[in-house]
Structure 1
């Protein structure tokens, strides 16, 4: 799914109005009806008090349309206008008059926060104060209203985006942003819903189709894409009847040190479970017996050192190398890594200690083959790209780094983001159970296994991150967050593959059409 920038959203509205020969007011009516339908399906006429707070721009206009339809269907509605400016949008004024003609209880004008309406914990607040076009600081008295929302403990439902939240920067004052329990985002979600600094402003979100013209959606390139089942399913590579292991590549997992052979074991098992034809492990001698006994499917090659990697000597050329799990950062290992990179011709997936070694020596980064996949956790990422001020600065630095070294950078997190050139790919699978030792080694193995069997590096990154997260989502139903371990994620890879072809459950309730 494409995630549109603020500018692209405005362009999409304008394109739709022209292409479909409608007015902006008619488009606003369409939006409001979609929001009303969503609410009406779930509330079914319940008489809980609904407080609708509208700004004086187009987001407020959307709120007024919702208010009118709720009133017409008998809901207990009170509407307030946050009068923060003398300027009103044309469509706001049209819908303000339409609401006044619908009900005897006209909207209450709020010019300051001296007389805030009484709101009880069981009430519902609909937030339609600011939309994506906010280009000014939020007035102190409006912040007081937002704080009043929070103090009331009422459920807050935001229209398109929580008021005060910008689409492309982190708010300086958290109190200037509404904390929404649910946000209905128009057409597509916003990038800010997926970033650690800003995801807290809406507990849940859903994108609703407001009828932006399909030609615009298909023809417009975006810098951000959301990756779910629909996006990865076309990447799946079915296997022919006469396939054999030689068709699916020979993956090498290179790493391990005394006490950290488990990392190589996890990555190797994940690579084979993801579909690699063969997996070899290159480890210090202390890893030979553990690997041969715990993972009989793997072939094992050992360094001449007992406890660490000191000299990589191979008598075969692997299809792909997963580099770094459990490797350690001993000086001899650093020298061995430099020597290996200078002669290596295979694609690389780089993780863990290999990343830390690269971060300390820019010359090693220049030895990486193009389209190498780097999978840092937050601290490893900081060592690679430097400190950042906020998530948007982090993404900017990550893009610059990926372009400079011509690599794919996977930023691991609740919504893992894959960075390639100027594009960001936001993953939708995964859960807090992945905050466990070894889960990163499993991801390295999955991506390595996908490249081994013929996926290109970008596809392997996107598909691998998705499978890794989906596996955790399926297994956590058995284990809970706290008890999920990396081995469970490997077990779940098969389930994640099978889930690709599972039919989605049909919704129990169909949308109702507005009767007006």
Structure 2
């Protein structure tokens, strides 16, 4: 699903009115009616008080359309106008006149927070104060109204976006943003619904189709996309009846050090479970027996050193290499990695200490093959790109690094983001149970296994991140968040593959909590 920018949304509105020969007021009527239909289907005439707070721009106009339909259908609705400016949009004024024609109780004007109405916790608040056009902080008294929304504990429904949020930059004051229980977003969700600092302002969201021009929606390229089953399924490569293990590639997992051989175990197992035909692990001598005993399907090569990797040499020809898990960052290992990168021509996935070593010596970035995949957790990412001031700054820094060195970078989190140059892809699977040791090693193995099978690096990364999270969503049903471990995720990779082909009604919905996973 495409995530349209503010500018693209405005252009879509303009083209829709032009191509469908309707006015902007007609489009507003369509949007407000869709919100009413959503509420009407759920409320079924219930007389709980509905408090509709409207701004004086187009978002407020949407709110007035909703309030008018609620009124004409006999609901107990009270409408307010948050009068934060002398400037009104044309469509707001038209709908202000329309609602006055259907109700003797005209919208109540609010010019400060002192006359905020009494709202019971069982009431409903509709937030239609600010839309996507907001470009400066709300006035202090308006922010106080938003705080009163929250203090009331009433269910709060935001129209299009929680008021006070920007679509394209960070907020300065959390108290100046509406905390919505639910947001009805027109035509597509907003990027800020998925970023750690701003996702918390709406517990849930849903998209309403308001009939924006289909050609525009299909043909417009967006900076951000949401990745779900429907985007992943077309990437799947089916297997031929007479295929054999040689058709599905040879993956090499390089890593491990004394006390950290388990990371290689997890990556190798998940690599196999992703479908790689052959998997070899390259580890220090101390890892030989444990790997041979615990994963009989994996071949093992060892370094001459007992406790760490000092020289990366092998006599096989892998199709993809995953490197860095449990590797250690001692001087000898750093030199070994640099020597390896100087001669390596294979597709590469770099994780954990591999990233930490590169972060210490940034010149190694120039040695990475095109479309190398980096999978840092937040602290590793910080070592790589430096500190960031907010989520937008973080994404800008990641995009810059990706573009400069032609890298695919996986930004792990509750909604893992895959960045390739100026494009970002937001994953929709996964849950808080993934916040446990080893889940990143599992992801490295899955990506490496998919590339070994012939998937191109970017599709392999998107597919792997989705399957990784979906496996965890399946496993968490049996283990719960607290008891989920990385091995459980490997055990359900097969079920995640099968789940791709289940009809929607048979698919278990992923957990919705917006907490960091890894």
Structural mapping, 1:137-216, within 5 Å: 137-216=137-216
Supply the RMSD in Å over aligned alpha carbons: 1.0
- Tell me the secondary structure at the aligned position of residue 505 of structure 2: coil
**Cα offsets for 1:330-374 (capped at 9, x unmatched):** 111111111111111111000000100000112211110010000
Does 2:7 match 1:16? Answer: no
Structure 2 distance, partners of 1:381, 1:93, is 49
Does 2:400 match 1:400? Answer: yes
- Tell me the secondary structure at the aligned position of residue 317 of structure 1: coil
- Tell me the secondary structure at the aligned position of residue 181 of structure 2: strand
- Tell me the secondary structure at the aligned position of residue 482 of structure 1: helix
- Tell me the secondary structure at the aligned position of residue 135 of structure 1: coil
Does 2:54 match 1:45? Answer: no
Aligned equivalent of 1:120: 120
What's the TM-score, normalizing by structure 1? 0.97
Q: By how many angstroms is 1:181 displaced? A: 0.6
Aligned equivalent of 2:454: 454
Aligned equivalent of 1:96: 96
Q: By how many angstroms is 1:136 displaced? A: 2.9
Does 2:272 match 1:290? Answer: no
Aligned structure 1 segments of 4 or more residues deviating by more than 4 angstroms: none
Aligned equivalent of 1:494: 494
**Cα offsets for 1:367-422 (capped at 9, x unmatched):** 10010000000000011111110000000000000111111011000000000010
Q: By how many angstroms is 1:239 displaced? A: 0.3
Structural mapping, 1:311-460, within 5 Å: 311-460=311-460
Structure 1 distance, partners of 2:473, 2:208, is 24
Aligned equivalent of 2:246: 246
- Tell me the secondary structure at the aligned position of residue 127 of structure 1: strand
Q: By how many angstroms is 1:59 displaced? A: 0.2
Structure 1 distance, partners of 2:202, 2:77, is 23
Structure 1 distance, partners of 2:39, 2:278, is 53
**Cα offsets for 1:477-501 (capped at 9, x unmatched):** 1111000000011011111101100
Does 2:136 match 1:136? Answer: yes
Structure 1 distance, partners of 2:89, 2:31, is 16
**Cα offsets for 1:79-103 (capped at 9, x unmatched):** 0000111111111111111111111
Structure 1 distance, partners of 2:139, 2:187, is 29
Number of aligned pairs?
507
Structural mapping, 1:22-61, within 5 Å: 22-61=22-61
Q: By how many angstroms is 1:506 displaced? A: 9.1
What's the TM-score, normalizing by structure 2? 0.97
Distance 1:372 1:220, change over 3 A: same
Aligned equivalent of 2:280: 280
Structure 2 distance, partners of 1:164, 1:424, is 24
- Tell me the secondary structure at the aligned position of residue 393 of structure 1: helix
Aligned equivalent of 1:63: 63
Structure 2 distance, partners of 1:57, 1:74, is 26
**Cα offsets for 1:191-216 (capped at 9, x unmatched):** 10101111111111111111111000
Structure 1 distance, partners of 2:153, 2:120, is 7
- Tell me the secondary structure at the aligned position of residue 243 of structure 1: coil
Gaps of 5+ in 1: 508-516
**Cα offsets for 1:287-321 (capped at 9, x unmatched):** 11110111000000011111110111111111000
Gaps of 5+ in 2: 508-518
Aligned equivalent of 2:267: 267
